[in-house]
């Protein structure tokens, strides 16, 4: 008895048919789950926005984070900013409250003071932001780590 070869099953035509069939299966399943996710508000999300604005000649930087959390929840946001400022490390930390979540995008601006030894400068910094939310869905958190620009003032960006 001869065993059939699998070589024909790896042909481009068979692979294309298999890909189309797999895509059809995924499309049949996605609409129901996509509909649920479109109606659901994320439990907690945060994003560090760019640019941030230099304050008091580098003594601080105003960083905006955008927070999303379930309506009726409240929470807090934290951010740590680190920047290579001319070969030295400038850094600072700040936190603020999110008094009442709306379920939509909520900007929160934090004024992060530089630690006493090295001021911030216009350039590229790294932010590590977290949001901690307490509400109807229980306790949840989210984090965003990213590079962002620091500018002297928003009017100089043009």
pLDDT-derived band of residue 154, with 50, 70 and 90 as boundaries? low
How far apart are alpha carbons 127 and 47 in whole angstroms?
Answer: 10
Percent of the chain with pLDDT over 70: 70
The pTM score is 0.70
Residue with more model confidence, 76 or 42: 76
The whole-number pLDDT of residue 3 equals: 55
Percent of the chain with pLDDT over 90: 61
pLDDT at 143 over 70: yes
Tens digit of each residue's pLDDT (9 = 90 or more) over 71-102: 989 999 999 999 999 999 999 999 999 878 99
DSSP string for the chain = -PPPPSGGGGSHHHHHHHHHHHHHHHHHHHHHHHHHHHHPPPSEEEEE-S-EEEEGGGTEEEEEEEEEE-TT-EEEEEEEEEEEETTEEEEEEEEEEE-S--SS-EEEEEEEEPPTTS---SEEEEEEEEEEEEETTEEEEEEEEEEEEEES-GGGG-
Residue with more model confidence, 88 or 26: 88
The whole-number pLDDT of residue 153 equals: 81
Domain spanning 44-157: CATH superfamily: Immunoglobulins (2.60.40.10)
The whole-number pLDDT of residue 28 equals: 44
The predicted model gives 101-108 an average pLDDT of 93
Residue with more model confidence, 12 or 142: 142
**Domain ranges for the chain:** 7-39, 44-157
């Amino acid at each position: 008895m001869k065993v059939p070869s699998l070589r024909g099953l790896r042909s481009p035509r068979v692979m294309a048919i298999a890909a189309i069939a797999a895509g059809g299966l995924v499309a049949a399943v996605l609409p129901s789950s996509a509909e649920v996710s479109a109606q659901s508000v994320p439990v907690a999300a945060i994003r560090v926005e760019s640019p941030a604005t230099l304050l008091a000649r580098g003594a601080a930087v105003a960083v905006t984070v955008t927070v999303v959390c379930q309506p009726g929840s409240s929470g807090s946001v934290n951010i740590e900013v680190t920047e290579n400022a001319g070969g030295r490390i400038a850094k600072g930390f700040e936190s603020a409250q999110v008094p009442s979540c709306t379920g939509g995008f909520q900007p929160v601006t934090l004024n992060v003071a530089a630690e006493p030894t090295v001021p911030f400068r216009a350039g590229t910094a790294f932010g590590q932001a977290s949001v901690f939310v307490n509400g109807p869905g229980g306790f949840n958190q989210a984090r965003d780590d990213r590079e962002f620009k620091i500018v002297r003032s928003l009017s100089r960006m043009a």
